[in-house]
Structure 1
C-alpha cells in the first residue's frame, strides 16, 4: 500500500515537473505581472498600472502566437486604457488620499450592454473568416473586458463583477488552447476580483460616512 502511494506521488511529481518545464519564460513573466497588477488594483493601489502596462505588452505577443486575435487587439486597447487609468487615478480631487470609488449608473449599464452585443456580433462575424479560435466567444469576452477596463479606470465599483464573470469564461478558453499557466492565472484573477469588489465596496462605504 505504501509502495503504491509512493509511486503515485512520484508520478504526479514527474508530471508536474514536466508540465512546468513546458511553460515558456514569456508566459511566466505574464503570469507574475498579471497577478501583481490585479492584486494591486484590488487593493486600490495606483501602482497596479505600471505592472498592467508590462503585462498587456507581454500578452500581445502570447495571444498573437495562440491565434486569439480578439484578445491580442484587446491587449492593445488595454495598453492605452492602462495609461489613461494611471493618469486618472493620479489626479485625485482636493485633499483626498485616493480617487473616490463610484457606483455604476443606469445609463452606463444600458450603454455597456448595447456596446457588448454590437461589438460581439461585428467582431465575431469578421473573425470567423480568419484562423481565429472561438471567434464569437473570444469577441464577447473582449467586449466585456473592454467595458470592465473602462469602469476600472474610472473607479466604478461594479467593474469587479464583470471581471469575475469574464474570467470564468476565459479559464475555459485558455484550457482548451493549452495555455495552462494563463488559465491558472485567470482562475486566481477570479478570487482577486472578488477581493477587489469587497475592498472597493468598503472604501465606497467609508466615503459615504
Structure 2
C-alpha cells in the first residue's frame, strides 16, 4: 500500500458492524476523528492546546470532503486550517496586549445583529454559487495533483451545506475572540452535520457530530458560566472588530 492510499476514503482501517452491511472506516477518517474530539473538548475548556489538534483534524477532513464531494464543507476545512493558526496566535503568549486582555463574554446587541445579517447574506450567496465555485476549485486542485473526484454533480444539500460553512466560519472567529455565541453556532451546525453525513453514508462522522453536539452544549454552559463570573458593565467591555 502506497502513502497515497492512506489518504483515500476507500482504504479501510477497520470494518465496523454499523448499519446495513457494516461500515468501512478509512485511515484518514479515523485520524481526523481522533484529532477532532480532543480539539473541541479542549476548546470548551478554554485550553489553547485545542488549536494544533484542529489543524490536523481540518487537514484530514478537507481531503475527505474533496473525495465525497461535499463542496462547502471542503472550503470550510481549508478555512479551519488558517483559522486555527489565527486562534492559536490570539490565545498564545505571543499575542498583543489587546489580545491578552480577552476574556469570555457575550457580544453586544449591535455587533450581534450585524453578524447575523452578514451570515444570512453569505448563506444566500453560497447557496446560489456553490456548484460553480466547487467546479473551479476542483479543477485547480486536480491541476495541482490531487485525485480527481470524477463527475461533479450538484451539491445535494446546497442550502444546508452552505449554512454549515458560513456559521462555522463565524463560530471559529467568535471563538478565537472568546464570544459565548460561538458555542451556540457550534452546537447547531454539529447537529445539522450529523444529519447530512448520515444521509451521505459517512456514518462514523455522523456519530462523531452527535458527540460533538454534546461537547458543544457543555462548552456553551462552561463559557456562559465564565462570562457571568467575569461580567463587566457593557460600556467597559473592550470594542472588538469582528
Aligned residue number for residue 11 of structure 2: none
Aligned twin of 2:112: 109
- Quick one: structure 1 residues 191 and 110, their matched pair in 2 at CA, closer, same or farther if it must change by over 3 Å? same
Measure, in 2, the Cα distance between the counterparts of 1:57 and 1:149: 16
Structure 2 residue 9 is the aligned partner of structure 1 residue 19:
no
2:219 alignment counterpart: 196
Matched residues in 2 for 1:45 and 1:191: separation? 18
| TM-score computed with the length of structure 2 as normaliser | 0.73
Shift, 1:170, TM fit: 0.8
- 1:180-207 deviation per Cα after TM superposition (whole angstroms, max 9, x unaligned): 1111111111111111112122222332
Does structure 2 retain, via aligned residues, the 8 Å contact 1:34–1:52?
yes
Distance 2:131 2:85 in 1: 31
Q: What is the aligned residue count?
A: 193
Question: Is contact 2:167-2:185 (8 Å) kept?
Answer: yes
TM superposition outliers: structure 1 runs of 4+ over 4 Å = none
- The structure with the largest helix share of the pair is 1
- Which runs of 5 or more structure 2 residues have no equivalent in the other structure? 1-15, 133-151, 233-242
- State the alpha-carbon separation in 1 of the partners of residues 162 and 173 from structure 2: 17
Q: Cα RMSD (Å) of the superposition? A: 2.2
Partner of 1:46: 48
1:81 and 1:128 map into 2 onto residues whose CA distance is 24
TM-superposed deviation, 1:88: 0.5
Q: Which residue of 1 aligns with 2:209?
A: 186
Aligned equivalent of 2:171: 148
Q: Aligned pair 1:161/2:187, yes or no?
A: no
2:124 corresponds to which of 89, 102, 121: 121
Moved more, 108-117 or 145-154: 108-117
Matches of 1:194 and 1:164 in 2, distance apart?
A: 6
Give the 3-state SS of the residue equivalent to 1:102 in structure 2: coil
**Is 2:184–2:220's contact at 8 Å kept on the other side of the alignment?**
yes
Question: Could you tell me how far apart the structure 2 residues matched to 1:172 and 1:85 are?
Answer: 28
Deviation at 1:93, TM superposition (A): 5.2
1:16 deviation in Å?
Answer: 4.0
Distance in 2, matches of 1:15 and 1:50, equals 32
Deviation at 1:172, TM superposition (A): 0.6
